[in-house]
Amino acid sequence: MTPRLPRRRAACLLATALPSLAACNGPQSTFNSAGAEAGSVLTLFWVMLAGAALIWLIVVGISVYVTKVRPGAHSDRTGVHLIVWGGCVFPVVVLGVLLYVGLTMMPGLRGAADGAKIAVSGERFWWRVNYGVEGTPGVAKSLPGGGVESANELYLPVGKRTEILLGSPDVIHSFWVPAIAGKTDAIPGRVNRLVLAPTRLGVFNGVCAEFCGDAHAQMGFRVVVVSEADYAARIAAEAEPAAVIDHPGRALFMGNGCNACHAVRGTEAAGRVGPDLTHLGSRKTLGAGLLPVTAENISRFIRETDHTKPGVEMPAFHTLSEADAAAIAAWLGALT
């Protein structure tokens, strides 16, 4: 039985390592870079890892040398050389190289934007998005006029440097799209600027990286990187009023007070408290990245909000019948 033990240990280590390796890829992985900043940060990581590995090899090599190859006392001259070269010269050179690599990255990352300007407001617990604004996100639960409003989904043109204006009306949030760029805080009473420069097409996950309350872990969003032509077409479509259909769900939506918090352009719903639902049916997720957009999930979110996303400020409509909730969900799901 003893010879099998190392094999079992190796199998356990392999089984543990495989999921870790799989996590290095995907729409939310910093190792699967899809942006100029994320690519630069990944390069810096590999440089730092190489430097750390080199230091580790030297330290381990010296330890093996003095304990196995040549144990015993060593001369004072050897000790002085070790201190000067190993303790002073080598760390200065390694840290100097890392500092140089890091500093040379900054001008490119802080360069001016050449694409669109988008305001993003972090609000408990979702993201308000406004395309094409000329102003900046305010501290109130509103964004400057002149833009096209959406929520929890951010479209970006590939190959362009898009400026994101970040703000918040309530607490500090942190806007992070790991595959495209680093974190930037959304702070009440302040506007922070972040430039996103996606380098390839795809759908990428974003998260709030600053604890902001009960539903912090469920405050996600999607970044959809498309061609410039598709981006222009998407914003034009977002600017259109809702595809209002003659459906019983519309009257139920208005009659149950949903219009007090949510806006559906083209109808009398003009609420500003919650996400704009004008084109909800065309979005990929519901509840800030929580669920896929389907009629069933919309109905569930309406009636069981407190269970689906605990801590969210939207009240749960427990008294709404399943049939009425389904009707509202069917109408909202058709708003593309």
Residue 150 in contact with residue 274, Cβ under 8 Å? no
Helix axis angle, 322-333 to 295-303, nearest 10°: 130
55: exposed, middle or buried (Cβ count in 10 Å: 0-12, 13-18, 19+): middle
Element (H, E) at 130: strand 126-131
The pLDDT score that the predictor gives to residue 35 is 93
Q: Which long-range contacts (CB under 8 A, 24 or more apart) does 134-142 make?
A: 136/165, 136/167, 136/191, 137/165, 137/166, 137/167, 137/168, 137/191, 138/167, 138/169, 139/167, 139/168, 139/169, 139/188, 139/189, 140/169, 141/169, 141/272, 141/273, 142/272
- Global confidence as pTM: 0.82
Radius of gyration of the chain (CA): 26
The pLDDT score that the predictor gives to residue 214 is 93
Residues linked to residue 149 through DSSP beta bridges, in sequence order = 130
Determine the Cα–Cα distance for residues 157 and 147; give it in Å rounded to an integer.
17
Residues linked to residue 292 through DSSP beta bridges, in sequence order = 285
The pLDDT score that the predictor gives to residue 6 is 60
Element (H, E) at 266: none
Q: What is the mean pLDDT of each run of 10 residues along the chain (336 residues)?
A: 57 56 69 90 88 86 84 82 84 85 80 87 95 51 62 95 93 96 94 94 95 94 95 92 89 95 93 94 93 95 93 91 95 93
Token match 């009659």: residue?
A: 255
The pLDDT score that the predictor gives to residue 8 is 64
The pLDDT score that the predictor gives to residue 262 is 96
